[in-house]
């Protein structure tokens, strides 16, 4: 069953088609990789799905309900989390505070009461522990290493218990040891029932981690399926070598 269904998504920037009639699907429980040469529109798809930029046409539905026209905060509330390229965290908040910002609360009064309820703090600390970050819980985000930021951003997104998480280059710019750790944590979160859609350039990372792969070229999907199947698709080789 597809958790996220994208139909004929199109976006043009000043006459240049960034995403063109794009209709990939993300199966529930999968780790789907969205790959393609530079400028093939991968990040734009993320921005369109999460409501950061308005689409020209097409529609996106999540759990069989349309999410067209909703803002990023509403889409997140429905259960679609995302990370950014280059790991964006709040630099002047501590790691723990970074984890607490995404926590959802119901009601106006809850909003004006304490910044961290004890069970929220517990969950945040558990997640930090899971990511091996509990030692830096009180450190400002801006003082963390790049790898720690990557893990922190992933952990923070998990705090609102999303069902689908969009990861923008989770392996970008990290060393091999950390790469393994990030891959391992994604796999373990996936085992807990969280679906992932990720954009990535590191092919071996994608091929090892993903259960499904969609290849984008010039804003259009040109192949999809199992990693091994996609890897041998002549159209894919063409796109990468010919681009």
Partner 1 sequence: MTLVLEAAVLGILTGGVYALMASGLTLIFGVMRIINVGHGALVVLGAYLSFAASRALHIDPFVTLVITMPVMFLLGFGLQVVFIRPLKTDREALSVLVTYAIALGLEGILGYVFGANYVQLQAWYDTASFPIGDFRITYVYVFGFVLCLAILVVLFLILYRTTFGASIRATMLNRTAAQLIGIDVDRVSAVAFGIGMATAAAGGVVFGITTAFNPGSHYDLISRLLTIIVLGGLGSLRGAVIAALIMLVSEDITSVVISPVWASFVFFVILIVVLLVRPQGLYGVRVRERI
Partner 2 sequence: MSLARSGDAWKVGGLIAVLAIALLLPAIAPDPATTNVAVFTVMYVGLATAWNIMGGYGFGSYTLGLLLARIGMAGGYAPFLIVPAAGLATAALALGIGWFALRTRAATFVIVTIAFMFMLQLLAENLVGLTGGGGGLSYPVPPWGGDYFNTPFYYAMLALALLSLAISWRIRRSKFGLGLLAIRDDEDKALAVGVPTRAFKLTAFVISAALVGMIGGVYGYYVTYIYPQFVIDPLIGISMVLMVFLGGLGTLTGPVLGAVILEPAQLYLAYNYGASRLYLVFYAAVFLIVILVLPRGIVPSVGRLISDRRARAGPSAPAAAKAVAP
Residues in contact with partner 2, counted by CB under 8 A, come to a total of 39
C-alpha to C-alpha distance for 164 and 155, rounded to whole angstroms: 14
- CB of 200 vs partner 2, minimal distance in Å: 19
Q: What is the DSSP letter of 140?
A: B
168 or 212: whose CB is closer to partner 1? 168
Residues in contact with partner 1, counted by CB under 8 A, come to a total of 5
- CB of 158 vs partner 2, minimal distance in Å: 10
What tokens does 236 get?
A: 């894919």
Give which of 155, 153, 147 is closest to 131, Cα–Cα. Answer: 155
90 binds, among partner 1, partner 2, none (CB under 5 to 8 A by kind): partner 2
Give which of 31, 81, 29 is closest to 209, Cα–Cα. Answer: 31
Which residue in this structure is represented by tokens 């705090």? Answer: 159
Show the site string, 82-121: x = touches partner 1 by CB under 8 A, - = not. --x-------------------------------------
Q: Which of 5, 37, 53, 190 binds partner 1 (CB under 8 A)?
A: 53
93 or 125: whose CB is closer to partner 2? 93
User: What are the residues whose beta carbons fall under 8 Å from the beta carbon of 50, sequence distance 6 or more?
Assistant: 72, 75, 76, 80, 82, 166
**Residue 158 contacts residue 165 (beta carbons within 8 Å):** yes
**Residue 92 contacts residue 81 (beta carbons within 8 Å):** no
Enumerate residues 70-129 that contact partner 2 by CB under 8 A: 71-73, 76-77, 81-82, 84, 88-94, 97, 100-105, 110-115
Contact window for partner 1 (CB under 8 A) among 25-33, 46-54, 73-81, 225-233: 46-54
User: What are the residues whose beta carbons fall under 8 Å from the beta carbon of 70, sequence distance 6 or more?
Assistant: 51, 78
* Binding footprint of partner 2 on the chain (CB under 8 A): 50, 52, 71-73, 76-77, 81-82, 84, 88-94, 97, 100-105, 110-115, 138-141, 143, 156-157, 159-160
């Amino acid at each position: 069953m597809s958790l996220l269904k994208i139909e004929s998504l199109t976006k043009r920037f000043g006459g240049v088609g960034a995403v063109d009639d794009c209709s990939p699907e993300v199966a529930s429980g999968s780790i789907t990789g969205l790959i393609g040469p530079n400028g093939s529109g991968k990040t734009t798809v993320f921005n369109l799905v999460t409501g950061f930029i308005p689409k020209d046409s097409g529609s996106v539905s999540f759990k069989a309900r349309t999410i067209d026209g909703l803002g990023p905060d509403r889409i997140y509330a429905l259960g679609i989390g995302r990370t950014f390229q280059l790991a964006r965290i709040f630099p002047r908040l501590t790691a723990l505070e970074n984890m607490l910002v995404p926590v959802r609360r119901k009601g106006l009064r809850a909003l004006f009461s304490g910044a961290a309820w004890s069970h929220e703090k517990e969950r945040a600390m558990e997640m930090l522990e899971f990511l091996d970050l509990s030692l830096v819980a009180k450190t400002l985000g801006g003082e963390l290493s790049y790898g720690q930021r990557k893990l922190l951003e992933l952990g923070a997104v998990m705090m609102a218990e999303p069902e689908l998480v969009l990861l923008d280059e989770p392996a970008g710019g990290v060393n091999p040891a950390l790469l393994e750790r990030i891959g391992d944590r994604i796999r373990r979160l996936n085992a807990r029932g969280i679906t992932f859609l990720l954009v990535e350039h590191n092919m071996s990372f994608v091929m090892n981690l993903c259960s499904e792969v969609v290849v984008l070229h010039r804003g259009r999907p040109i192949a999809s399926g199992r990693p091994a199947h996609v890897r041998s698709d002549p159209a894919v080789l063409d796109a990468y070598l010919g681009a």
